[in-house]
Amino acid sequence: MTTAPLALDERAARADADDALAPLAERFVLPDGVIYLDGNSLGPLPAAVPPAVTDVVTRQWGTDLIGSWNDNGWWDAPLRIGDTIGRLVGAAPGQTVAGDSTSVHLFTALTAAAALRPDRRFLVTDPGHFPTDRYLAEAVARRQDRLEVRRIAPPDLDAFLAEEGDQVAVVSYAPVDFRTGELYDMAATTEAAHRAGALAVWDLCHAAGAMPLHLDAQEVDFAVGCGYKFLNGGPGAPAYLYVAHRHHTSFETPVTGWNGHANPFGADRDYSPAPGIARARIGTPPILSLLALEAALTVFEDVDLAQVRAKSMSLTEFFLRCATELLTPLGIESVTPPDPSRRGSHIALRHPHALGLTHALAQRGVIIDMRAPDLLRFGVNALYTTHRQLLTAARHLQEIMQESAYDPEPPRTGPVT
Ligand SMILES: Cc1ncc(COP(=O)(O)O)c(C=O)c1O
Ligand SMILES: Nc1c(O)cccc1C(=O)C[C@H](N)C(=O)O
């Protein structure tokens, strides 16, 4: 045994002892003996959610019945919860709506953004973007004849805009790469898009709740994000859509459902959009899930996201150090940028047997995920992750590899990896 692991123990102990956010872990229900490093895919259960859901089901639905649309604030929930999320992403009230999936909100955002630049040809997106974002960009382009998708990696965007900027309608990117955890400069990309006369659509799934975001200050045009990762709203939690105030009058939703009508209960013959962000509503929202998400968001009530970001950087920095000392000698490499200002809240390590290693870790109570073909993703959440847990996870992985205690060709146990 070298002295390095002792240094890691010492560092973990000091960082955790100095952690002002440590008490926030009590706001979550996590099973004993589990080190949960997959909150970047599904956030764990906030303690506030079960009583809130019980109240919604038994009192609001069970007793108050349909009167709850008014009396328990069901009708306004998409806008109210949208505003709560808005506070986490730097959006003033009245610009964010919650209720549909990220994919549906993204379809709305991309379609509406492209329609605001009717004389331009290109919808530019990241070839490494999450699949739904790539598929929907193609779907939107297929529905507007003059549009064509161009897949441009973030580092090549400036050069593309210099060449073809006057033909770019929309750029659609994510601040955090879902595979590598690389963090891109939202302000610079949005500004570059605007200089070219294009609009910027952002997918905040891997960023919201993990770091401060500044949608209004950076003059983002449209943004979407899910409710189930760092917002901890639960499986299938409703997502959200942000549309900057300045686009509200010209914004046309492609899915003209009755909830977005100016007079939703008037049964008018024709569609007439509601004023403001309400026009981005579609149909009856999933109230049980929305109100679970609302309860989950209370976790953030007195939390400073700058502190969350600082601790997240400390956690990822520490985990990278653990990986360098304990895992790199065994053939595992990080694909996440070493510069803390260039990474989000997860670390991706590369190994050809990523799936087998992920399963072996799970058997030891360390929950991570893998992304094909060879990335192990370790998500940290400053609200409940400790440095000690990361060191323990790295030591488990070291032992599993040293003892070859994993199946190199594991059977797939289900559709979800
Ligand atoms: C960047 C990103 N966008 C979108 C999604 C998913 O979209 P939806 O919530 O519609 O399943 C994910 C994860 O599933 C994601 O990581
Ligand atoms: N949305 C998911 C789901 O419904 C099942 C399993 C995983 C997910 C995810 O969120 C995956 C995630 N967006 C990713 O970063 O890969």
* DSSP conformation letters of 196-219: TT-EEEEE-TTTBTTB---TTTTT
Determine whether 341 is exposed, middle or buried from the number of CB atoms within 10 Å of its CB (0-12, 13-18, 19+). Answer: exposed
Nearest to 361 by CA among 43, 34, 5: 34
Cα–Cα distance measured from residue 45 to residue 145, given in angstroms and rounded to the nearest whole number: 44
282-324, pLDDT tens digit by residue? 999 999 999 999 999 999 999 999 999 999 999 999 999 999 9
Burial class (CB in 10 A: 0-12, 13-18, 19+), 380: buried
* Each residue's pLDDT tens digit, 218-266: 999 999 999 999 999 999 999 999 999 999 999 999 999 999 999 999 9
Q: What is the pLDDT of residues 314-352, one digit of tens each?
A: 999 999 999 999 999 999 999 999 999 999 999 999 999
Cα–Cα distance for residue pair 152/122, rounded to 1 Å: 11
Contacts 24+ apart (CB under 8 A), 16-22: 16/386, 16/387, 16/388, 19/311, 19/386, 20/307, 21/303, 21/307, 21/308, 21/311, 21/382, 21/383, 22/386
- At residue 414, the pLDDT reads 86
Residue 4: pLDDT over 70: no
Mutate to test the pocket of ligand 1, among 101, 108, 129, 178 (most ligand atoms within 8 A of CB): 178
Q: What CATH fold (topology level) applies to the domain 4-30+304-402?
A: Aspartate Aminotransferase, domain 1 (3.90.1150)
Task: Name which of 80, 37, 42, 28 is nearest 234 in CA terms.
Answer: 42
Residue 96 has pLDDT above 60, yes or no: yes
Residue type, 393: A
pLDDT at residue 1 in the model: 45
- Provide the pLDDT for residue 5: 54
pLDDT tier, 2 (very low <50, low <70, confident <90, very high otherwise): very low
Residue from 105, 135, 226 whose mutation best tests the ligand 1 pocket (most atoms within 8 A of CB): 226
**CB-based contacts of 107: which residues, under 8 Å, 6+ apart?**
136, 139, 140, 254, 255
Which residue's CA is the closest to the ligand 2 atom numbered 11?
41
Q: Enter the ipTM.
A: 0.98
User: What is the CATH architecture assignment of 50-300?
Assistant: 3-Layer(aba) Sandwich (3.40)
Label residue 10 by pLDDT band (50, 70, 90): very high
Residues that are catalytic: 130, 203, 228-229, 377
pLDDT reading at 269 higher than 80 = yes
Q: What is the domain partition of the chain in residue ranges? A: 4-30+304-402, 50-300
Q: Residue 147 and residue 59: Cα distance in Å, rounded?
A: 50
pLDDT of the residue at 6: 61
Confidence (pTM) = 0.97
Any ligand 2 atom below 6 A from CB of 36? no
The letter for the amino acid at 410 is P
